[in-house]
Structure 1
Amino acid sequence: MATDSYTLLSALGTLLLGLVVTVILVCGYTYLVTLTRFQINARKHPNSSAKTQLAHSPPLVPYFIPGLGSTITFSNQNIGAYWKWLQCQAARYRQDAFAIILAGVHTNFIFSEAGISAVFKSRQLSREKLDQQLGMNVLGMSKEDSVKAFPYDVAEKEKSSVARIYSEHLLSSSAVNALTSKFMETFRAELESDASLSEGVEVDLYDFLWKKVFVSSTTAQCGSTLLEMFPDFSTDYQVWEDSLLGLLFGTPRLFARSAYAARDASVKKLEAWLEAGYSKPLKDGEDPEWEPNFGAKVMRKRHDYYHQQELSIHGQAGFDLIALGGIISNATPASGWLLLHILSPTSPSDFRSRIMDELESSRKNDGSLDIPSLIRLPLLNSAFHELLRLYVDLLVVRQVDSSVALGGHYVKQGEQVMAPTWMTHRNPAFFENPEVFDPERFLTRDAETGKIGFSIAGLGGKYFPFGGGHYMCPGRMFAKQEVLGTVAVLLLNFDIDFVGYTGQGSGKHGFPGIKKGYAGNQVVRIEGDMRVRIKKRISGM
């Protein structure tokens, strides 16, 4: 008996050893083959954007594990770590594009100016299949609903209906101004209702800001009924928001229980909100810019689209979740980063005073803000675009529908293209001292008049915090007014004094750092916070 057991264990041990050796040999062989191909291709075709060269495929980064490729290294949650490594390889091999195997898909990273511009213009690239994946993984839609929500094999008139809705009801001046007005009204009311601000109170600035802006932005976009029905909606929403990219990449439910639970709870609440709103339709002929049940006009037009596409109530709720996230997930941290830099003692000594001088010039006689004036203030706008340059980690992702050359980079049908902002926004060839927050970076001076202005003209494929082309972020105009309005209301109406930094900030002198997360987080989240004492001015608001 003992001999038989020993023989069995010995056989199992030999089998296990054989499997381990086989895996090592396979991984080693895979790496040697891919490394050899990479070295040959990288040295054969340096600098893909050179005009004298024909378009060629970006060199494939070597990897160990067949099928999985570079998925594990790309999934490094120290934001920027993978891009910094890729920048080093780009400099070493004189490349402006690489390819990797990402979850089994041949993925081309393009970061040349010409290549990115071509990505935005190309008709051989699309996003619908990727959006359908987002619908199922991130929004909890059924496959049937995701195809209806993000159609690609339909008539052009239907296909562009969401784009038309955004063009008319989210990008037009009247729509943006209506949204901004409601946001500002709600934000001021949130501040007014906080009695502690009259006496003065110490708060963690970003935590304080996130709660106020969440209520104001949600109300402006979706109406007041949603938060009246579910005052705790932000709890599940914030967990879902922090887990969004993990869900998109298909993290198994076993390893992300809280993320899936938060997604499902958020969608369920939105279902109830939709059903309550549909039970109280507007009267014939009514079409207000905002109403309490469904908020801004753009949301009601989206709901008309849902019915056109015959989405289930569950699919509609998921689609509204991403609409809400598209605004809140970026405008809120952007407001936070801008305020942190304005108030930080590590910023230039005159930065805050110059911002205050500009803000005062945009205040009307009745104390309200002149928004058209606000969005033209040179230093404030330069600082806004600088925070987007430094803190946006956006991946412009496209599927390749037919093989095409993109500014010297040849990509094949069935592959995937990604244009990462981190690689261009922090490229020293494009921006001097790219790791430093420079609020004056985008300031200009008129040669004849000496007047100071700001401009991002001519940056093309170097700077694209809102993406580009047909899929450019439709909420960009409202987001900008929301961020600048938030900053203006706080600084003009409250005395805010720096107390210290809190949490695990990884920046210089304890300044808040970048929170861990997957690549492609858009405006990166804030790790750590700033403790401030905030008190309402007697003459404020």
Structure 2
Amino acid sequence: MLYLKITSGSFAVDVAAYIITSVCTLLLATRIFTEARFWLRSRGAAGRFQGREPLTLPYTIPWLGGATRMMGGHSVYKYAESMSPLGRPVKLRVGSLNMYILFGPKNMKAFFRNSKSVSKDASSIMLFKNTSMPAKDVQIFKDDQSGYGATSLTEGKNETRIWKRTHDLGSAALANGPDVNLLTSRFMEEFVTELDMAPLEKTISIPLYDFLKKKMFVASTISLVGTEIFRLNPGLVKTYWDFDDGFLMTAIGLPKVLIPKQYTALDRMLQASKRWIDSPYSQLDPKESDAEWEENFGSKFIRKVAEVLTESGVSREGQAVAMLPLIWAINSNAIPCAGWMIFEILKHPGLFQRLREEVSPFMTSQSTGKTRFDIPNLVSNSPLLTSLYLETIRTCTSSSPTRRLMQDLEVDGYILKKDNHIMASSWIPAHSTIWDVPGHPANSFWPERFIEMPKMKPKDPEEKSAYEIAMRPENFFPYGGGNVVCSGRFFAKQEIMTAVALLVMKFDIDFEGGWVTTDGKTSERGAKCDESLAGSGVLTPDRDMVVKMKRVR
């Protein structure tokens, strides 16, 4: 009996050792093989102009490939750049996906110039699948291959062109001047209501970004989808921000075993959206079907999107999933951007008062006593506020235009194969030396950069200025480029500038140097961009600024 127990124990150890050794051998062999393959193929012309794909970056874990690098912020782009010192495209395997990583102005120009050869539909479909949209609803989107143009690429009725119809609605509501102004006015009204909940003429000490993101989320979301979603989901503010933390990782489909917390947050947000989406259909008064805003669906834009989805056959559950990216998009960039702007305003002595003096002429008050701004004039005639906005976009935005190739595309002598994906990073060029100015390097925040840099002329009048080069679309693309540019950028800009102007005018705010971590612990350092969220847009601060603030009349 003793012998059997000893043998059993030794056998278990032997099995464990065998498994560990086998796994380590497999990982080591994979690494050696992929490193050797990369090195052998990178010699000489590295396969350029020979009809070959870009070189595949080495990896360690079979099948997963570079998935772990995707979780490492900008390290995937820095690694790719280090492996391709001449700035040539490289390929990254991520599970079943092949991703071509592009960098450098020449390659970005080629990408944007040939943007009709790529599609963002695949990215949306991948997001829908990975956020639990029913398969039959996903298929409706897959079946529409007609494109976005006025002329359909396939035969069929206009009613079945779900991509074009929803895209046109977004362009009309988020890029059209009068419609953008209406949406911004609704946001301003809701944000003022939220801010006015703070006690008047009473100084409070609070983490500023935590205060801002909660207030601004409520105002932004109500302006877009109405108040009903909050009535049905009392804890929506916390549910959303938990969901936001893991949005990018769940959207690209990283395995649940690697990010269980993020999938749990996704499930809670999805349930909140499902509870909401059924209500408007039963609550909406037919007389309000063409209203600019009502409490059930919110904006006319969301109401019309719901109509298109219904007419296309998308189920209520599918609609709940489809609404998540819209709610995320209106909040995920605008709120961190406004937060960073306020941080920088308070960090630079005298800037708060200068900005208050600049925006005060555009402030008006209603008979109700509510603060309002003349939005078109505020946006058009506030150079310091505009420069602050652009510098924040430059220093804090990490966008990754990711698109599926609709056909083979030649870039820098390589063939990028149809049905694979292209990805790039706006972060790398936005922090490169092309933005350097004496005393104000690219990696520093200079509030007046977009006021002063355009004034700097080159010695040779025939040459382009540093500012003109830096602002070329292949160097500065926080909103994307070509035909894959963000349609919501106009509303986002107005929302952000209005939010910052309201904070500056409605509060006296003092920063005495204190910072806290996201869980409220005292921090020895200030905020940095949370690069773990690279590719998601404007990066959130990883620290919060503790301020004393007082609402003033």
- Which stretches in structure 1 are left out of the alignment for 5+ residues? 448-453
Q: 1:191 aligns with which of 192, 195, 199?
A: 195
Shift in Å, 1:150: 5.8
Matched, 1:219 2:229: no
Matched, 1:385 2:390: yes
Secondary structure in 2 aligned to 1:495? strand
Matched, 1:511 2:526: yes
Please say which of residues 414-423 and 224-233 is displaced more in the overlay: 224-233
Secondary structure in 1 aligned to 2:401? strand
Other-structure match for 1:399: 404
Distance 1:47 1:458 in 2: 32
Distance 1:127 1:246 in 2: 18
Please say which of residues 217-226 and 283-292 is displaced more in the overlay: 283-292
Secondary structure in 2 aligned to 1:198? coil
Q: Which amino acid is 2:91 matched to?
A: A
Distance 2:95 2:322 in 1: 26
Q: Which amino acid is 1:445 matched to?
A: K
Aligned residues: 519
- Following superposition of structure 1 onto structure 2, how do residues 463-502 of structure 1 map, counting pairs within 5 Å? 463-502=476-515
Distance 2:233 2:481 in 1: 35
Q: Does structure 2 conserve the Cα–Cα contact (< 8 Å) formed by 1:97 and 1:112?
A: no
Q: Does structure 1 conserve the Cα–Cα contact (< 8 Å) formed by 2:80 and 2:101?
A: no
Q: Does structure 2 conserve the Cα–Cα contact (< 8 Å) formed by 1:403 and 1:410?
A: yes
Distance 2:443 2:197 in 1: 39
Identical residues among aligned pairs (%): 27
Cα gap change, 1:184 to 1:275, in 2 (>3 Å): same
Matched, 1:306 2:309: yes
The Cα offsets for residues 300-352 of structure 1, whole Å up to 9 and x where unpaired, read as 110111112211111111112221111011111111011101111xx3x4543
Shift in Å, 1:25: 4.3
Distance 1:534 1:134 in 2: 40
Q: Which amino acid is 2:340 matched to?
A: W
Other-structure match for 1:147: 139
Distance 1:456 1:363 in 2: 36
Cα gap change, 1:362 to 1:39, in 2 (>3 Å): farther
- Following superposition of structure 1 onto structure 2, how do residues 410-421 of structure 1 map, counting pairs within 5 Å? 410-421=415-426
Q: Does structure 2 conserve the Cα–Cα contact (< 8 Å) formed by 1:128 and 1:151?
A: no
Other-structure match for 1:107: 99
Matched, 1:67 2:63: yes
Shift in Å, 1:425: 1.7
- Following superposition of structure 1 onto structure 2, how do residues 194-213 of structure 1 map, counting pairs within 5 Å? 194=198, 196-213=199-216
Cα gap change, 1:39 to 1:254, in 2 (>3 Å): closer
The Cα offsets for residues 89-147 of structure 1, whole Å up to 9 and x where unpaired, read as 44xx3224322222242211101223223323333322323322211223x21122123
Distance 1:275 1:445 in 2: 55
Other-structure match for 2:333: 330
Distance 2:51 2:20 in 1: 41
Other-structure match for 2:117: 124
Other-structure match for 1:442: 450
Secondary structure in 1 aligned to 2:186? helix
Other-structure match for 1:320: 323
Shift in Å, 1:536: 2.0
Shift in Å, 1:265: 3.1
Secondary structure in 2 aligned to 1:310? coil
Matched, 1:535 2:550: yes
Distance 1:358 1:339 in 2: 15
The Cα offsets for residues 220-274 of structure 1, whole Å up to 9 and x where unpaired, read as 1112222233332112111111111222243444565543343333333333333
Cα gap change, 1:148 to 1:363, in 2 (>3 Å): same
Shift in Å, 1:191: 1.6
TM-score by structure 2 length? 0.84
Q: Which amino acid is 1:523 matched to?
A: V
Shift in Å, 1:440: 2.5
Other-structure match for 1:425: 430
Cα gap change, 1:485 to 1:54, in 2 (>3 Å): farther
Cα gap change, 1:43 to 1:355, in 2 (>3 Å): farther
Q: 1:168 aligns with which of 168, 172, 184?
A: 172
Q: Does structure 1 conserve the Cα–Cα contact (< 8 Å) formed by 2:47 and 2:414?
A: no
Q: Does structure 2 conserve the Cα–Cα contact (< 8 Å) formed by 1:69 and 1:101?
A: yes
Q: Which amino acid is 2:417 matched to?
A: K
Q: Which amino acid is 2:506 matched to?
A: N
Distance 2:134 2:469 in 1: 41
TM-score by structure 1 length? 0.86
Secondary structure in 2 aligned to 1:496? strand
Shift in Å, 1:19: 5.0
Distance 1:313 1:458 in 2: 43
Distance 2:471 2:545 in 1: 35
Distance 2:135 2:266 in 1: 17
Please say which of residues 199-208 and 129-138 is displaced more in the overlay: 129-138
Other-structure match for 2:536: 521
- Following superposition of structure 1 onto structure 2, how do residues 79-118 of structure 1 map, counting pairs within 5 Å? 79-90=73-84, 93-118=85-110
Q: Does structure 1 conserve the Cα–Cα contact (< 8 Å) formed by 2:194 and 2:219?
A: yes
Shift in Å, 1:407: 5.0
Distance 1:336 1:112 in 2: 30
Q: Does structure 1 conserve the Cα–Cα contact (< 8 Å) formed by 2:284 and 2:296?
A: no
Distance 2:328 2:425 in 1: 21
Matched, 1:342 2:345: yes
Shift in Å, 1:468: 2.3
The Cα offsets for residues 165-186 of structure 1, whole Å up to 9 and x where unpaired, read as 1122221111100000011011
Secondary structure in 1 aligned to 2:509? strand
Please say which of residues 463-472 and 1-10 is displaced more in the overlay: 1-10
Distance 2:259 2:524 in 1: 34
Distance 2:35 2:289 in 1: 65
The Cα offsets for residues 168-210 of structure 1, whole Å up to 9 and x where unpaired, read as 222111110000001101111112233x243221111101111
Distance 1:428 1:301 in 2: 45
Distance 2:59 2:271 in 1: 42
Cα gap change, 1:537 to 1:11, in 2 (>3 Å): closer
Please say which of residues 313-322 and 25-34 is displaced more in the overlay: 25-34
Distance 2:376 2:364 in 1: 12
